[in-house]
Amino acid sequence: MMNGAFSLKSKSSGAWLDAIMNNFDAFLLDHAANERKASSMAMSMVAHYPDKDRLLEAMIDLALEELNHFRQVVKLVRKRGLLLAPDEKDPYVNQLRASIRRGKQHYFLDRLLSAAVIEARGAERFALIADNIDDEELKIFYAALAKSEASHHLLFIELAHHYFDADEVKTRLSDWLTIETKIIEELPVRARLH
């Protein structure tokens, strides 16, 4: 089942989609940064949990896959004659992080589940772009990315189930979906992934 994105509690707004379509170049630069950060995030899991076999293998694969997304987006950036932008803070990710609990186990579960909701939102937004963009190459690219990010969403949920019991995952995932929706709905609309 690849429909992990449907577990989000809200859909992205038409205003967000308009902002992207009206300034696709700005969006693309931010998208590149997001792929780079996704790869780094996976490698930070590797550094933080070197003793967790299953996680380790999955995060190395994920880091490579996200790095490949980064490479592909950078190619699109260069094709449009753009330059990558300096790093910017991502208020969405920072606000999500603020809800990660302390304590070894809680922290671990929250890292997995916050990553799961970030991936689900990415999948939802890339699918929206794929459905609404005219350029055929970009349509195909974003549809493929949407699928990929949906599978990452499921990967984080699976890892959560591997390391925690189902009830705990279910309860906390429901919290995260509520947290995520509140954050995404309150963010100013910009030509950014978030």
Concatenated DSSP letters of 24-75: HHHHHHHHHHHHHHHHHHHHHHHHH-TT-HHHHHHHHHHHHHHHHHHHHHHH
Does 66 bind Fe ion (CB under 5 A)? Our answer is yes
Q: Which two tokens stand for residue 100?
A: 């990660």
Does 124 bind Fe ion (CB under 5 A)? Our answer is no
Binding residues with Fe ion: total (CB under 5 A): 7
Name the residue nearer to Fe ion (CB basis): 37 or 161. 37
Name the residue nearer to Fe ion (CB basis): 30 or 119. 119
Does 69 bind Fe ion (CB under 5 A)? Our answer is yes
What is the rounded CA–CA span in Å between residue 135 and residue 143? 12
19 to 58: interface string for Fe ion, x by CB under 5 A: ----------------x--x--------------------
**Position 13, amino acid:** S
Does 149 bind Fe ion (CB under 5 A)? Our answer is yes
What is the rounded CA–CA span in Å between residue 162 and residue 86? 37
Question: Which residues contact Fe ion by CB under 5 A?
Answer: 35, 38, 66, 69, 119, 149, 152
